Structure 1
Amino acid sequence: MRLVQVLIPEGTSESVLGALDEQGIDYAVFQEVGRGDFEAMVQFPVPPSGVETVLDSLTEAGIQEDAYTIVLAPETVVSQRLSALVERFPGLRISREELYARAQDLAPANSTFFAFLILSTIIATTGLLLDSAATIIGAMVVAPLMGPAISASVGTILDDANMTRRGVVLQVTGLIAAILTAAIMGWILQATILIPPELDILAIPQVAERTSPNFLSLFLALGSGLAGSISIMRGSGSTLVGVAIAVALVPPAATSGLGLAFGLPGIAFTAAVLVLVNLLAINLSALLLFYLAGFKPLEASKFEGVRSSLYSRLVVIAVGIAILSIVLAGVTFTTFQTKSLEVNVQNELNQRFEEANLEGVELLSVTVDYEISDVILGNEPEVNILIAVPRNQEIPPDLAQRWDDEITEAIGRDVVVRVGFVEAQLSEREEPNPPIDWPSLASRPGADVRYAGHLTG
C-alpha cells in the first residue's frame, strides 16, 4: 500500500477532489497555511499499482510538476476498506514516478560508485588468484553495478536523456576501471612473494572458467537483467539481485585485467568479450521488461519518440550481441569438440584394453591434451596412455603406433599417441594386497617409467 500526499494549487481543489471521487479513493483534506501558492493538502491510500493511474488523473485535474506530490510506503494499514481498492487496482507493478525515484537512488554519486567498484575488483581479483568462490561472491556484494544498468534502461523508457547517459557512462567507465585495477594489482603482485613465481593463471579453475565463454554465459546475463528489473518494479530483493548482476560483470573484468598483467592477450580478449556480452545482455533484458510492463513517459506527446528511440537502441544492442556471439559460438563449438574427442578416445581405449585381456597388465590412465587453441591452430590431439606391466612382460615395440592407427580409424582423425609404462610387481598370495596407486607411484622419485615413443598417425 502507498500513502500519497498532494499539495493542491490555488483554484484547483474542486477538480482535484472530483478526480479522486471518480477513482473511488477515500481521502482526507487539510488546509494549507504556507506561502499561499497552495490552498490545501489531500492525503489518500492507494495500492502501488494504482499510483500511476491516480496521479495521471490528478495531472489532468490541474496538479502540475511544480506542485508537491509525495508517495510514502507505510509499514501497516488497518482497514476493511482496502480490499475494494486492491480489487480496483490489481497488479504488482509500481508507478513510473516511483520507478524513476528508485533508479535515481540506485545510481550513487560518482566517487561512491568508483570507490565501491575498485574495492570490489580488488577483492574479486584476490578471490580469483586464491581460487576462492566464496571470496568472489563476497566481492559481488560490494559491487554497485546494478544501479547504472537499471538507471540507463529507466532513463530510456521514461525519456530522461541525462539518466540514460549517466547510466551508460558509469557502466562503461566502471568496467574499464575494473579491468585496469585488476591489471595493476596483477603487475604489483608479480613483484612480491604473495604469488608463486611463473604462476600459470590458466591453471586456476576460477580464472579458466572465465576464459572460455560460451552461449551459457548469455543465460546468466539475461537472467540477471530480468531479475534486477523485476526486483525494482516490485520492490523486493534488489540487493541480492545486484549480486547476480555483479557476478556477470566484475569477475570476468578482473580476469581480463589479470590477462593483461601476466602478458596473456588471449585471456584478456576472451574475458573482455564475456564482459561486453554480459553488459549488453543485461541492458537488453532490462529494456525489454520495462517496455513490456507498460512504463511510459509522463507526457503522452513524448511516447512515440521514446518508442522509436527504444527500438533503435534495442536493435543496436541486439546487433552488438550477435557480433560478439560469433566468439561465443566459436568457443562453444571448440569446447564441444575437445570434450567429445576426449570421451571418444577414452571409451575406445578402455574397450580395446578389455577386449585384449592382457594378464597382469593394468590400464592406469588415459588423458587427451587438446585445447581450444589446438582446434583453432589445427594441431593434432595428443593421447597420453599410462599402463602398468610386470617386469618380465614383453612389450610390443610398435604398441604406440598400433593404438595410433586404431584410434585414428575409430574417430576419423589423426592423433599423436604417447604410451608410458610402469613396471608392476604382482603378488602370488591368494588374498591380494590393497590396490597400488599407480599414478602416485609413477610420480615418485626413482620410479621406473618407460615410454614407447611419440608417434604421429
Structure 2
Amino acid sequence: MPLKMLQIIAPTAAENNIKKLVSETSVISFYKGALLEDDHALYTLLTRAEDRQQLIDKLHDILQTSSKARINILPVDATLPTVESRISGDTREELYQKVGHGAQLNFTYLLLTFLSTIVCLIGLLQDNVAVVVGAMVIAPFLGPNLAFAFATSLGDKDLMKKSFICGTIGMSLAIIISAGVGALNGSVPTSVELISRTEVGISGVALAAASGVAGVLSLTTGLSMTLVGVMVAVALLPPAATFGYMLGASYMKEASGAFLLLSVNIVCVNLAGLLVFLGQGIQPRLWFERKMAKPFVLAGILVWSVALIVLVSFIGFYNLVDL
C-alpha cells in the first residue's frame, strides 16, 4: 500500500525535532493532535512508501529517550485530493509482523499441514490436478520459508530458530502422514501426478527459484500473497507427499527422486528469497546491528549456494543413471 498514516505519541519536547524531520522529507501532511499526560502529544503524518522507512528510522532516534513514545502505522485506502506515489511497499517493522505470523507453530498450522497433505495425497493417487491444486491453496509452507530468509537478512537468530523449527516440523509431519498412507496402501498407482514428482530436472529448480522471488516481492510490496503461497506449495508439498508415500510403500528409487526434488526446491526458495530481500535493501536499522547481521547473510548465501550446486550435480548424476 503506497500511502500510510504514522500516528506518533512523542514528548512535546521532541516537537521541534519532528517538525524538522518532516521538513526534510516529502511528508504529505503533518498535524499535532491532542495533548496527552506526562508532557506527551499525538502527532499524525501521512506518508508515501518511498519515504516511510527512512522516516521511521529517524523517528526511532528522536523518541528513544521516552518509554511512553510509540509509532503506529495505519493503512490509508484513499485520500483526497489524490496523492501519487511511485512505489508500494512495507517497512521493516511491518514485515516483522507479517513474517512473525507466518512462522507460528500452533494448532492451526499443524491442522492446515495435516489437511493439505491428505488432500494432496488424494489428488496425487487419483491423478486429479484440481484436487492437488486445492491442497496447495491451504498449505501453510510459505510463511516459515520467507520468515527464515527474512531473519537471515537481518541476522535475527531468534526468528531464524523459530521459523526453522516451524518449517521442519511442518514438512516432517507431511512426510510422516504420507509415509503412513504409503505403508498402508503398499503399491504405486499409475498416476502421472504422482510419478512426475519422482523426476527432477532444471525446470524444477527454475520453478522453486521463481516461487521464492515472487514470495518476497509480494511480501515487501504489500500485495496479496495467496497466489504466491500456492506457488511455493507447488514446489514443496507435492514432492514432500510423494517422498513420504514412496518411502512408506518401499519404492526407494522413486523416493530418492522425490527427495532430491524436494531438497532442491527448499534450497532454491530460501536462496532466492534471501537474495531478493538483500536486493530490496532489507537490513537492520542500526550500524552495529548491520555489522552483526553480515556474517549471517554471507553464511546463508554460501550455505544455500553450495547446497544448490551439490544438488544440481546430483540431479545430473541421477538423470544420467536413468539413461
Give yes or no for TM over 0.5.
yes
CA distance in 1, matches of 2:188, 2:302: 40
What do residues 289-347 of structure 1 show as CA deviations (whole Å, max 9, x unaligned)?
0001111102121112212220111101111111122221124445xxxxxxxxxxxxx
Aligned to 1:31: 34
The question of 1:123 aligning with 2:119 is answered yes
Which amino acid in the other structure matches residue 221 of structure 1? A
Q: Give the AA of the match of 1:269.
A: S
What code does the residue aligned with 1:5 have? Answer: Q
CA contact (8 A) 1:280 1:321 kept: yes
1:210 counterpart SS class: helix
CA contact (8 A) 2:104 2:166 kept: no
Match of 2:73 in 1: 71
Indicate the residue corresponding to 2:239 in structure 1.
252
Q: Do 2:88 and 2:221's aligned partners in 1 also have CA atoms closer than 8 Å?
A: yes
Secondary structure of the structure 2 residue equivalent to 1:42: strand
Higher relative contact order (Cα pairs below 8 Å, separated by 6+ residues): 2
Question: CA, structure 1 residues 311+143, in 2 after alignment: closer, same or farther (shift >3 Å)?
Answer: same
1:220-259 mapped onto 2 (5 Å cutoff) = 220-259=207-246
Q: Partners of 1:205 and 1:68 in 2: how far apart?
A: 56
3-state SS of the aligned residue for 1:313? helix
Identify which range, 156-165 or 124-133, moves more after superposition: 156-165
Match of 1:152 in 2: 148
Partner of 1:7: 9
Alignment match, 1:55: 56
Query: Equivalences for 1:281-430 in 2 at 5 Å?
Result: 281-333=268-320, 372=322, 375=323
- What's the CA shift for 1:10? 5.2
SS at 2:267 equivalent: helix
Matching residue of 1:163: 159
Gaps of 5+ in 1: 191-197, 335-371, 376-457
TM-score (norm 2): 0.93
The residue aligned with 2:44 is 43
Which deviations, in whole Å up to 9, do the C-alpha atoms of 1:404-452 show, x marking residues without a partner?
A: xxxxxxxxxxxxxxxxxxxxxxxxxxxxxxxxxxxxxxxxxxxxxxxxx
Please say if residues 208 and 269 of structure 2, whose CA atoms lie closer than 8 Å, have aligned partners that are also in contact.
yes
Cα deviations across residues 185-217 of structure 1 (Å, max 9, x unaligned)?
2333x2xxxxxxx7433x321111011111211
CA distance in 1, matches of 2:87, 2:222: 13
Q: Indicate the residue corresponding to 1:347 in structure 2.
A: none
Residue 169 and residue 28 in structure 1: after superposition, are their counterparts in 2 closer, same or farther (change >3 A)?
same
**Equivalent position SS for 2:41:** strand
How has the CA–CA distance of structure 1 residues 65 and 75 changed in structure 2, closer, same or farther, with 3 Å as cutoff?
farther
Partner of 1:422 in structure 2?
none
Maintained 8 Å contact 1:253/1:272:
yes
5+ residue gaps, structure 2: none
Distance (Å, rounded) in 2 between the aligned partners of 1:107 and 1:239: 16
Say whether the 8 Å CA contact 1:158–1:298 is kept in structure 2: no
Contact 2:151 2:159 in 1 (8 A): yes
1:40 deviates by: 0.4
Q: Cα gap change, 1:64/1:276 in structure 2, threshold over 3 Å: closer, same or farther?
A: farther
Q: CA deviation at 1:28?
A: 1.3
- How far is 1:75 from its partner? 1.7
SS of equivalent to 2:76: coil
Taking the aligned partners of 2:53 and 2:294, their CA distance within structure 1 comes to 19
Partner of 1:244, secondary structure, is helix
- Asked which structure has the greater CA Rg, the reply is 1
Q: CA deviation at 1:65?
A: 8.7
Tell me the matched-pair count. 319
Matches of 2:170 and 2:101 in 1, distance apart? 18
Deviations 1:12-63 (A, max 9, x none): 22212221122242211113334x2x51011111112221011122223335
Q: Deviations over 1:335-369 (max 9, x none)?
A: xxxxxxxxxxxxxxxxxxxxxxxxxxxxxxxxxxx
1:271 corresponding residue in structure 2: 258
Deviations 1:270-305 (A, max 9, x none): 211211110111000000000011111021211122
- 1:175 pairs, out of 171, 178, 184, with 171
Q: 1:222-251 CA distances to partner (integer Å, 9 max, x unpaired)?
A: 000000001011111301100010110010
Query: What CA distance in whole angstroms lies between the structure 2 residues aligned with 1:107 and 1:21?
Result: 39
Alpha-carbon displacement from aligned partner over 1:116-169 (angstroms, at most 9, x marks no partner): 111101110111110111100000011001111111111122232111111122
